[in-house]
Amino acid sequence: EVQLLESGGGLVQPGGSLRLSCVASGFTFNNYAMSWIRQAPGQGLEWVAALSGSGTNSYYTDSVKGRFTISRDNSNSTMFLQMNSLRADDTAVYYCAKVPAILPLYFDYWGHGVLVTVSS
């Protein structure tokens, strides 16, 4: 059974940093791309970043380029999202999602999400 467990969320001040983690199980982690998707309170879904199975190719939405970094540790089946220079509009539930291919496509499994609140 595929399981994705996010952690690392919380309250942070504007301009601060936070690192999210996603531990995966139930599949061969390095064979699949992974992604982060967020949902602001009461809003829709927004794709944030994606990383190929090897970790070689990364992709970002424009609003987080230069501030967020996606990475993975295939030996420990874990994906990360380093978030710097956080802003109020980064406040959201962040979901870790698995892609059913080596390169990012759609998302076949999702974690339960972790809340990030950016506020002073």
How many Cα atoms are found within 13 Å in the side-chain-facing hemisphere of 120?
Answer: 3
What is the three-class DSSP state of 2? coil
Positions that interact with other proteins (CB under 8 A): 35, 37, 44-47, 50, 59-62, 95, 100, 104-113
Minimum Å gap between C-beta 112 and other proteins is: 5
Question: Which CB, 18 or 37, lies closer to other proteins?
Answer: 37
Minimum Å gap between C-beta 92 and other proteins is: 13
Question: Which CB, 47 or 71, lies closer to other proteins?
Answer: 47
Question: Which residues are registered as beta bridge partners of 5?
Answer: 23
Question: Which CB, 32 or 107, lies closer to other proteins?
Answer: 107
Token pair, residue 53, equals 């199975």
Yes or no: say if 99 and 32 are a contact pair by the CB < 8 Å rule: yes
- Residues 20 and 48: their CA atoms lie apart, in Å, by 13
Minimum Å gap between C-beta 13 and other proteins is: 27
Minimum Å gap between C-beta 115 and other proteins is: 12
